[in-house]
């Protein structure tokens, strides 16, 4: 089969929902909400662009379940129905060309900048490593009642998403956010039913999953983004991740997206130059782990990170290692790439590592992530994304935007 034939195949999920092709737009933080975290027309425009580009499944950037706990300025928060009319237009835009759209739901836990919240929460009062403590405060350990309240928030947000017309939700259980913190023995050092053993540490995630299922219909999809590992000493391991996936598979989860890392070790944001040759040759960073999952559980898989060519994407599907090709950066600069591949084009992504010439900056994955977020902003305004970075000027642009947003957020918080 040609890459176009392989990638054009539909995928039926456990609940019967059908993804029309094997291209999935992985979550990228758009930060296109208002300063008070409301929905905007820019998100409608952005997701219509991806839908028209031919993607089979779009997963939104992290929508927060609590407006008092957001990961970045201008995250969208969905904790009630106040933005339901505009949320409906977002869902309609994402499905405009026959694809599906899921809302990613998230709570940052302690992974929230001090400028946004000086009193973060987490399973345990474990601070970030020393070099990050100027940006992130030491969290307060959550009480049992607070944990139950957050579980309820996830369910409320999912119910609103379904009412708005989204096809499903993805629970963000990766990259060091709250659910990831509960799963990690480094971040979760509780001695009650929410911590200690691996079984207790996955209790919060399973409770969130079950609450969402109870709050939504049987045809509504529920997936998860999960780390293969934290890549951090004393953190969440591959063996523990496999156990979590097996438990979720037994619960009937519709899709597992595999990723890895957190802010302290951002494997999810590092460029291809930082991975070993055996992985680079297969393009996707987490295919080897996906193959381990295949031996343990029967569950649809989505692997994100590293795909750059139509041939590499098709080979990953044909090998059976993954069911969906997860794409982030390539779709941030070439939103029509699915249609181009499906039309028969031999595709090679223009994505390359962004270099400023300043080593300490170039080693900080978050700067590069922010540059790609700027391209989402351009598309949200109906403009074409830039396909090539401008080196040091990219850094200046990103820092300018982040500073402005931070100041506006602090001013609003002081009102």
Please give the backbone phi and psi of residue 361, each rounded to the nearest 5 degrees, phi first: -75, -45
All domains of the chain, ordered by start, with CATH?
3-351 (3.20.20.70)
pLDDT tens-place string over residues 394-412 = 667 666 766 676 667 666 6
Please give the backbone phi and psi of residue 130, each rounded to the nearest 5 degrees, phi first: -50, -45
Q: What is the CA radius of gyration of the chain?
A: 20
The pLDDT of residue 133 is: 85
The pLDDT of residue 361 is: 63
Asked if pLDDT for residue 273 goes beyond 60, the answer is no
With contact defined as beta carbons under 8 Å apart, do 121 and 139 qualify?
yes
Query: H or E stretch including 210?
Result: helix 203-215
Asked if pLDDT for residue 289 goes beyond 70, the answer is yes
With contact defined as beta carbons under 8 Å apart, do 58 and 100 qualify?
yes
Q: Which of 8, 49, 52, 44 is nearest to 325 (CA)?
A: 8
pLDDT tens-place string over residues 52-76 = 999 999 999 999 999 999 999 899 9
**Residues 6+ positions from 394 with CB-CB distance below 8 Å:** 354, 356, 367, 371
Token pair, residue 330, equals 């390539």
> Cα-Cα-Cα-Cα dihedral of 323, 76, 52, 158, to 10°?
50
pLDDT tens-place string over residues 101-119 = 999 999 999 999 888 888 9
Asked if pLDDT for residue 357 goes beyond 80, the answer is no
The pLDDT of residue 106 is: 98
User: Taking all residues of the chain, what is their mean pLDDT, rounded to a whole number?
Assistant: 89
Q: Is 16 exposed, middle or buried (0-12, 13-18, 19+ CB in 10 A)?
A: exposed
pLDDT tens-place string over residues 27-39 = 999 999 999 999 9
With contact defined as beta carbons under 8 Å apart, do 153 and 79 qualify?
yes
The pLDDT of residue 369 is: 75
Q: Is 328 exposed, middle or buried (0-12, 13-18, 19+ CB in 10 A)?
A: buried
Mean pLDDT value of segment 202-231: 94
Query: What's this model's pTM, rounded to 2 decimal places?
Result: 0.91
Other beta carbons less than 10 A from residue 2's beta carbon? 13
Asked if pLDDT for residue 279 goes beyond 60, the answer is no
Mean pLDDT value of segment 205-223: 98
The pLDDT of residue 262 is: 56
- Report the C-alpha gap between 37 and 70 in whole angstroms: 9
| Biggest CA-to-CA distance, the chain | 61
pLDDT tens-place string over residues 316-342 = 999 999 999 999 999 999 999 999 999
């Amino acid at each position: 089969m040609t890459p176009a034939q392989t990638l054009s195949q539909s995928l039926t999920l456990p609940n019967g929902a059908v993804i029309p092709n094997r291209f999935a737009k992985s979550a990228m933080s758009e930060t296109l909400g208002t300063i008070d975290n409301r929905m905007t027309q820019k998100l409608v425009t952005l997701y219509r662009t991806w839908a028209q580009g031919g993607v089979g499944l779009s997963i939104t950037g992290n929508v927060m379940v609590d407006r008092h706990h957001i990961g970045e300025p201008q995250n969208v928060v969905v904790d009630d129905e106040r933005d339901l009319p505009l949320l409906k237009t977002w869902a309609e835009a994402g499905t405009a060309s026959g694809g599906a759209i899921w809302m990613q739901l998230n709570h940052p836990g302690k992974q929230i900048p001090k400028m946004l919240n000086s009193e973060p929460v987490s399973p345990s009062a474990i601070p970030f490593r020393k070099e990050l403590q100027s940006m992130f405060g030491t969290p307060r350990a959550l009480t049992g009642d607070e944990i139950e309240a957050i579980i309820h928030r996830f369910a409320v947000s999912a119910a609103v998403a379904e009412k708005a017309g989204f096809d499903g939700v993805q629970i963000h259980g990766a990259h060091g956010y709250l659910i990831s913190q509960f799963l990690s023995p480094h971040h979760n050092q509780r001695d009650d039913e929410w911590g200690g053993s691996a079984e207790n540490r996955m209790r919060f995630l399973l409770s969130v999953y079950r609450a969402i299922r109870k709050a939504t219909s049987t045809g509504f999809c529920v997936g998860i983004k999960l780390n293969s590992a934290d890549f951090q000493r004393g953190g969440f391991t591959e063996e523990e991740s496999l156990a979590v996936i097996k438990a979720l598979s037994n619960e009937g989860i519709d899709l597992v997206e595999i990723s890895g890392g957190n802010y302290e070790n951002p494997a999810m944001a590092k460029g291809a130059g930082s991975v070993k040759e055996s992985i680079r040759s297969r393009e996707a960073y987490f295919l080897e782990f996906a193959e381990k999952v295949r031996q343990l559980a029967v569950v649809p898989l989505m692997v994100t990170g590293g795909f750059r060519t139509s041939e590499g994407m098709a080979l990953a599907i044909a090998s059976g290692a993954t069911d969906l090709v997860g794409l982030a950066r390539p779709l941030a600069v070439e939103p029509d790439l699915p249609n181009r591949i499906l039309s028969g084009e031999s595709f090679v992504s223009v994505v390359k590592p962004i270099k400023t010439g300043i080593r300490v900056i170039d080693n900080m994955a978050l700067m590069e992530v922010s540059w790609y977020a700027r391209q989402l902003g351009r598309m949200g305004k109906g403009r074409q994304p830039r396909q090539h970075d401008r080196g040091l000027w990219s850094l200046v642009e990103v820092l300018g935007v982040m500073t402005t947003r931070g100041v506006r957020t602090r001013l609003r918080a002081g009102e």
